[in-house]
Amino acid sequence: MPILNLPTTAGTLAPHTIRPARKFPAAKPPFNRIAYAAAHVVADPLADADPWLDAAIDWERTIAFRRHLWSLGLGVAEAMDTAQRGMGLDWPTSLELIRRSLAAAKDFPGAQIASGAGTDHLKPDAHVSIEDVIRAYEEQCAAIERLGGRIVLMASRALVRTARSPDDYAKVYGRILAQVRAPVIIHWLGEMFDPALAGYWGHHDHAKAMDVAVEVIAANAAKVDGVKVSLLDKDKEIAMRARLPRNVRMYTGDDFNYAELIAGDPQGYSDALLGIFDAIAPAAAAALEALARGDHTTFHSILAPTVPLSRHIFKAPTRFYKTGVVFMAYLNGLQDHFTLVGGQESARSTLHLAELFRLADAAGLLADPELAATRMRAIMATRGVEA
């Protein structure tokens, strides 16, 4: 097997022998958990564009990656923060992404796809009103519904900036949920993912914010399929899960503790809408298939080694996790370059990428060790390391 010399925190190079690839069994849906992978977009590295300013998308490879996820039985959460929504990907490009994904999903009977609706085309400045926020949500929701899509109602930076009390959140969500055609997934994205969302639901204290969120959901339960919580705190998610109306699902967004949250406990379990499922899709699908058969031992044996990798990819500053997600796609041949929207291939250090490689190998997630080694050497060479 290939041997690489990878940098360590001691400032030295240490040999790493890549393990044989783990062959995950083919998944056979349906699963007994709903599972969405929040999918990344593939940048076009040959576009005549400035990466920090322009979101040049390789549409063919981007849609091919979604086909990869559907082929494994996973749903796709489209145009979310994993796709750098509001962090390089603007609303017009997001809508085109949603349109193309919905069209491609028709080739996969039963394929699940949910698309992010937000207010990111609205500049969150001092002149924005609550009514402006409502109109912005209405515009995006209507555009997605015209395409036949279902909605993930994303958190709004403009609402945080404009709201004066929790009542403003109740007003905005109440108005939007009264209009949507089908139940939506509400996304509570924590400030660790997006610092501009600190204080969502009118409180910086997550316990108080949760009170508001639960009240809003309960008041509109018929229009809420579920809530995705991304706070990286399993106890908060479990506490909120227990308070949800009977018909409302909890979709875990906890990329640190997803295995135990999906497995659940005697009081309940979480479904999944996770960025890490983009990077570990074959393992995730195989584990979910085992869980559906009641084989908890295999479920945990597959997912447990992926958790250290996920915690590394999503380590603070968490908002740079997209770098690791795309790096995994590059190492596994799911795209032929390591280039991100916004130039975020530079957002993580050489040491971070080296440890990511080691952890991915330990989890059995390098599908082709020879290819992964070749690509890792190429990346290390650009950073001054002769691996």
Confidence of residue 53 (pLDDT cuts 50, 70, 90): confident
Q: Are 56 and 97 in contact (CB under 8 A)?
A: no
Q: Are 18 and 366 in contact (CB under 8 A)?
A: yes
User: pLDDT at position 1, please?
Assistant: 86
Instruction: Please tell me the number of Cα atoms within 13 Å of 151 on its side-chain side.
Output: 27
Q: Evaluate if residue 192 carries a pLDDT over 90.
A: yes
Confidence of residue 177 (pLDDT cuts 50, 70, 90): very high
Homologous superfamily in CATH for domain 28-304: Aldolase class I (3.20.20.70)
- β-pair partners for 43: 57
Q: Mean of the per-residue pLDDT values for the chain?
A: 96
Q: Is 70 left (phi over 0), alpha (psi -120 to 50) or beta?
A: alpha
Instruction: Please tell me the number of Cα atoms within 13 Å of 262 on its side-chain side.
Output: 34
- Extended beta strands in the chain, E state: 3-7, 13-17, 35-38, 75-78, 113-117, 150-153, 184-189, 224-230, 249-252, 271-274
Q: What is the mean pLDDT of residues 239-260?
A: 97
- β-pair partners for 250: 227
**Any residues with CB less than 8 A from the CB of 131 and at least 6 apart, and which?**
none
38 compared with 123, residue with greater pLDDT: 38
Instruction: Please tell me the number of Cα atoms within 13 Å of 382 on its side-chain side.
Output: 12
Q: What is the mean pLDDT of residues 40-59?
A: 92
Confidence of residue 387 (pLDDT cuts 50, 70, 90): confident
pLDDT over 70 for what percent of the chain? 100
The pairing of beta strand 3-7 with beta strand 13-17: antiparallel
Distance CA 308, CA 17 (A): 19
Q: Evaluate if residue 126 carries a pLDDT over 80.
A: no
Give the tens place of pLDDT for each residue, 5-49.
999 999 999 999 999 999 998 888 899 999 999 999 999 999 998
Confidence of residue 280 (pLDDT cuts 50, 70, 90): very high
User: pLDDT at position 139, please?
Assistant: 98
User: pLDDT at position 166, please?
Assistant: 98
Q: Evaluate if residue 243 carries a pLDDT over 90.
A: yes
User: pLDDT at position 28, please?
Assistant: 83
pLDDT over 90 for what percent of the chain? 94
Give the tens place of pLDDT for each residue, 282-319.
999 999 999 999 999 999 999 999 999 999 999 999 99
User: pLDDT at position 125, please?
Assistant: 76
Q: Evaluate if residue 86 carries a pLDDT over 90.
A: no
User: pLDDT at position 279, please?
Assistant: 98
User: pLDDT at position 54, please?
Assistant: 86
Q: Evaluate if residue 71 carries a pLDDT over 90.
A: yes
User: pLDDT at position 95, please?
Assistant: 98
Confidence of residue 123 (pLDDT cuts 50, 70, 90): confident
Neighbours of 164 (CB within 10 A): 8
Give the tens place of pLDDT for each residue, 332-378.
999 999 999 999 999 999 999 999 999 999 999 999 999 999 999 99
pTM of the model: 0.96
